[in-house]
Copies of this chain bind each other. A is one copy, B any other.
Amino acid sequence: RRSHMVVSFTDPVVSMDLLRGVLQPSFNEDIIAVFRKYQQFLDKAAENIKDNVGDDVPTDQLNTDTCRNLLEHAKQMFPEAENKISRVDIKRSRQTDDDSS
């Protein structure tokens, strides 16, 4: 006989983060594909920097930083709520009894 444990499978924030985890690998591939388009500009900039400043500038890291910053600024398109949803009040409108015991 199973005990009635309340597991938060219905927490929407948890559900959405599980979905995010599933989508992430494919999303990352798409992001890599997008960056391929901009690589020529970053490479050109790296070249200019080496010409102007010197070969000791870590341009690989600068490019990596620029990619990360592009993603960071893209997040502004998806603003956080004023009242951040951390744990939405779970009000089950339909209390389903799915206990099979």
Residues of A with Cβ closer than 8 Å to B? 10, 12-13, 15-17, 19-20, 23-24, 27-28, 30-32, 34, 37-38, 41-42, 45, 48-49, 51-59, 61-75, 77-81, 85, 88, 90-94
Contacts and interface: CB of A to CB of B under 8 A. Distances in A.
21 contacts: A10-B52, A12-B49, A12-B57, A12-B59, A17-B69, A19-B41, A19-B42, A20-B73, A23-B38, A27-B34, A27-B38, A27-B70, A28-B73, A31-B77, A52-B92, A53-B91, A61-B81, A61-B85, A71-B72, A71-B74, A71-B78
Contacts of A81: 58, 61, 64-65
A interface SS class: helix
